[in-house]
Structure 1
């Protein structure tokens, strides 16, 4: 009975979102972080840890670098060609990945959104890579200071499509990696469309490479 009452209380707290959500918030810091969302503690042992977050972003960096390397020898014409994809072609899709990773990192660091949307200020592959490497360096420093407690803290996110949503850092980290993986999948198809061979960037390949003995 007590367990049922506790869960019902959690549900009631969620229903307050947007109309009195402060009843369960324990305050908002200057950075916009809030207390963790109500949750069923029976799931605590199955949740992603800080070590796993760092591993996912290490995988993300490994995969991005493999694509930068694969795109480097490509001539300008196919690289900039409009292939009628969601972001035009190879360059537009790559810049979208870079921009989105910067956008999410800026949110976590309580910094303004990137000044130019969708990475439209990135006019070359070299510029896109330089921007991304700077993002990765800053993100690594952020993740180095990450704590288990922070994973359940929340942040209000206002997407460009409108609205406002409250997400835990755990959710945002998963989304950021998933988003880049999704668009790298598009890059695979686009590379094949221009007759190039895409790199293998599966998570299992990353795990196997990390375990391989140094040569």
Structure 2
């Protein structure tokens, strides 16, 4: 078992769970402004999608700055997505990650990353996958809070629940 691969699978599972949940809620919740790290659920989902997109490009050996610029340039478009469009976009990005994981059996391989805020460093494919999952989990927590601020229910997305939902994953 590779922790990065498993955590990415969890990230994908949790994102799909949240999007399916959002699909059953009133449509106006997506763009209703609340006090949070992002003003709307749509902008939060758009941010997660942009970061997921940026990191898959980095894994595909696109320079960090270019990957960042390409991903962030999509925000004006993705900020206006519907839940169905987010579902499609997250499925598409998940397919890219799955392809990358399937083609790279050694996720401990290192890659050079030159982050404009933190500087250059070597990291592994696995660490990037862990970061993508951790980042998504953080913002799914934000979305949970945003839903509760609007008197809507959220759902359980704990990693331990994922163990039981996906029997391929062993604790």
TM-score (norm 2): 0.83
Decide whether the 8 Å contact of 1:68 with 1:129 is kept in 2. Answer: yes
Find the counterpart in structure 2 of residue 135 from structure 1.
93
Deviation at 1:175, TM superposition (A): 1.1
Rg bigger for which structure? 1
Q: Does 1:64 align with 2:15?
A: yes
Flag structure 2 segments of 5+ consecutive residues without an equivalent: none
Distance 1:209 1:162, change over 3 A: closer
Find the counterpart in structure 2 of residue 194 from structure 1.
150
Q: C-alpha separation between the residues in 1 aligned to 2:71 and 2:101?
A: 25
Q: C-alpha separation between the residues in 1 aligned to 2:76 and 2:120?
A: 25
Decide whether the 8 Å contact of 1:157 with 1:167 is kept in 2. Answer: no
Q: Does 1:119 align with 2:119?
A: no
The number of residue pairs the alignment matches comes to: 161
Of Structure 1 and Structure 2, the greater helix share is in 2
Deviation at 1:78, TM superposition (A): 2.4
Deviation at 1:163, TM superposition (A): 3.3
Find the counterpart in structure 2 of residue 87 from structure 1.
38
Find the counterpart in structure 2 of residue 179 from structure 1.
135
Secondary structure (helix, strand or coil) at the match of 1:115 reads helix
Decide whether the 8 Å contact of 1:104 with 1:176 is kept in 2. Answer: yes
Q: C-alpha separation between the residues in 2 aligned to 1:165 and 1:131?
A: 30
Q: C-alpha separation between the residues in 1 aligned to 2:118 and 2:133?
A: 22
Find the counterpart in structure 2 of residue 206 from structure 1.
162
Deviation at 1:172, TM superposition (A): 1.6
Aligned counterpart in structure 2 of residue 145 of structure 1, from 100, 103, 109:
103
Decide whether the 8 Å contact of 1:57 with 1:177 is kept in 2. Answer: yes
Q: C-alpha separation between the residues in 2 aligned to 1:60 and 1:71?
A: 16
Find the counterpart in structure 2 of residue 155 from structure 1.
112
TM-score (norm 1): 0.67
Deviation at 1:56, TM superposition (A): 1.5
Q: Does 1:109 align with 2:67?
A: no
Q: C-alpha separation between the residues in 2 aligned to 1:95 and 1:106?
A: 17
Superposed CA offset, 1:99-138 (max 9, x none):
1111100110123426351733111222222221111111
